[in-house]
Amino acid sequence: MKAVTVIGIGDDGCVGLSSKAMGAVARARILAGGERHLDFFPQFDGERIIIKNDVVKTAEKIAELSAEHTICVLASGDPLFFGIGNLILNKVGRDHVEFIPAPSSVQNAFSKIGVKWDDASFLSLHGRPIEGFITKLQNVSKVACLTDEINSPDKIAKYLLNYSEIDWKAFVCENLGGKEEKVREFELEILAETTDISSLNVFILIRKDPTWKPSPVLPFLGEDEYAKRLPKKGLITKKEVRILSLAALEIRPDSVVWDIGAGSGAVSIEAARIAREGKIYAIEIDQEGIEICKQNILSHKADNVFIIHGKAPQALVDLPSPDCVFIGGSKGNMKEIIELSWKRLSAGGCLVANAITLDNVSEAYKTFRDMDLIPEVSLINISRGQKLADYLRYEALNPIHIFKIRKS
């Protein structure tokens, strides 16, 4: 028997445990778990450790005690599925831990509603911010969510409705395996007003439309699909330049991205779709631009974009260090923005600057040279086909320089 055995347990308590799990409890000198888990073993006469608030400190105590005592840790469902299992592994060591899992709460929930779950996604909002949840949904048709008192099913439903995410069937599965088990299906509008939900629940969303398809990995949206400043065509990066700039940024699923001079927010929103697990900071000084960014974030359902109202480089100082920096506007501070961004950029990250005017092109290039950096530079000339009577002619867009440099 290994020093620590982590046992998965359901709301049915000892009834659902295997003989192997019950034997491990019987041989243990110390029993650790949540209060409701420990209550299933009133006959246990060894030391008890309640796992409640400071989970990391408790895991360290378990690791320390495991040097001299056999310990059983009780955890909900499968301890290695959004559970304490991995923390125990890290603190005690793989060679000294054994797992006896029970069916996970998510597995139980799907069995209760009679839906296969091998194609489902899993998102935990337990102890985590809800921002980014909408963005992640754009790529899934079936998702199980672990909730908490802050991100409860009714509050999640309100959040979905705020972004017009209405094409979902919602299931709330409460107290699974226990005496107060309850499984209910809701329309989101009704769920948003329902508050009699147990804190022990799994929240499942399934799309109503069987023909639904996820959004493209690389968006290619025209300027007319975004709200933008008028007159003229607004402050928005043209779609052809946008896709080249996004590719140059080398965005990964969990990247932190700075979009400096966000304008209408198109680059931020499309970066958000690529970095679904990451965060995008859209820095914009113009109040009208801020309002347009907010409008576009809502309509394009990119809730992992965070708007920063201010002027760069001052507005960048308190932001998390970026993996990717896009400079689309500088308000005359190109040099200072490049210097600060390069200093804060994570190792392996990319900085991309777009410049239209000769002044910005010259300042950007000189700044890189003064920093002993040699950027990759592309001059992009794009012409679009425009109808003229029965003919098709080309209309040229403004040429633009794209500077790119990767931090080794």
Higher-pLDDT residue of 236, 366: 366
Q: What is the pLDDT of residue 46?
A: 95
Instruction: List Cβ neighbours of 222 (8 Å cut-off, separation of 6 or more).
Output: 239
Q: What is the pLDDT of residue 206?
A: 98
Q: State the greatest distance between any 2 C-alpha atoms of the chain, in Å, as a whole number.
A: 91
CATH of the structural domain 223-406, one choice from 3.40.50.150, 2.60.40.10, 3.40.50.960, 3.40.50.2000: 3.40.50.150
What is the average pLDDT across 362-368?
97
In whole angstroms, give the CA distance from residue 202 to residue 176. 9
What is the average pLDDT across 220-247?
85
Band of residue 231 on the pLDDT scale cut at 50, 70, 90:
low
Band of residue 230 on the pLDDT scale cut at 50, 70, 90:
low
Decide if pLDDT at 233 tops 80.
no
What stretch(es) of the chain map to CATH 3.40.1010.10? Answer: 4-102
Band of residue 350 on the pLDDT scale cut at 50, 70, 90:
very high
What is the average pLDDT across 290-303?
96
Q: What is the pLDDT of residue 234?
A: 60
Q: What is the pLDDT of residue 11?
A: 87
CATH architecture of 106-207: 2-Layer Sandwich (3.30)
Does the model's pTM come out above 0.85? yes
Q: Which CATH fold would you assign to the domain 4-102?
A: Cobalt-precorrin-4 Transmethylase; domain 1 (3.40.1010)
pLDDT cut 70: percent of the chain above it: 99
What is the average pLDDT across 82-110?
95
What stretch(es) of the chain map to CATH 3.40.50.150? Answer: 223-406
Decide if pLDDT at 374 tops 90.
yes
What mean pLDDT value characterizes the chain?
A: 95
